[in-house]
Structure 1
Amino acid sequence: MVVNWQEMLGEAVKTLGGLAKGNPGIMEGYKGLDGAGSAFGALDAKTRELISLAVAATTRCDTCIAVHAQAAAEAGASREELLETLAVAITLNSGAAFVYSSRVLEAFDAFSKK
């Protein structure tokens, strides 16, 4: 898959701008959450952006990927740091599937005992 990330981000900003203009309360609420999530300062910008990219990968948010990839690059993140971050995201996501598989099995067993 080849994506023009700069173009996609520009289009997403336009689309989200339309949403914000149509319902300003949504943007106000989002800005409040965003501000609260970045208010502490214990983590540097690069670390915060790498965490954001791990979350974006696991939540499958292309716009989040574009926003935070740009910010991570601007914050000085290296490709090696990003690859290590993504390895953590992949491991966590596979771990979640492993754990939830036991829940699926439990639910199935509960319904099969009728």
Structure 2
Amino acid sequence: MLDWNTYRRQVADGVADLATLSPDTVRGYGAISGAGRKSGHFDEKTRELIALAVAVSLRCDGCITVHADAARKHGATEGELVEALGVAIAVNAGAALVYSVRTLDAFRESAKS
């Protein structure tokens, strides 16, 4: 298994390095990341659980280590995490089903050309 704590520090160091090389890029990411917080509809724990479900869907290890740590710090329980992961699993299976229908449609359309 991956040493997630070490990896999280490596990601943070890499982002800091990128911020030195391209500060506008990292500043822009920060603006996008913080924009949703301004609405106040979700608390930080919920935002982190959503971020983890999305991170699983995107297969982003960096996102997983950062948001898993933040979710725990904001009081998420293992049970809440597992429920969020269950949503990610269901959506990913659903996405595969929908894209399978799209693929079948594309395949059938190709016969018309």
Q: TM-score, normalised by structure 2?
A: 0.95
Letter in 2 for 1:20: A
Tell me which residue corresponds to 2:90. Answer: 91
What is the letter of the counterpart of residue 75 of structure 1?
Answer: H
SS at match of 1:36: helix
Match of 1:49 in 2: 48
What is the distance in 2 between the residues matched to 1:13 and 1:112?
50
Report the equivalent of 1:109: 108
Percentage of pairs with the same residue = 46
* Cα separation, 1, equivalents of 2:34 and 2:110: 45
Q: Does 1:14 align with 2:43?
A: no
Q: Which residue pairs with 1:26 in the alignment? A: 25
Q: Spell out structure 1 runs of 4+ moving beyond 2 A.
A: none
Q: Which moved more, 1:66-75 or 1:12-21?
A: 12-21
For 2:103 and 2:44, the matched residues in 1 are separated by 38
Gaps of 5+ in 2: none
The whole-number CA distance in structure 2 between the counterparts of 1:10 and 1:102 is: 41
Q: CA RMSD in A?
A: 0.9
Aligned residues between the structures = 113
Instruction: Calculate the TM-score normalised by the size of structure 1.
Output: 0.94
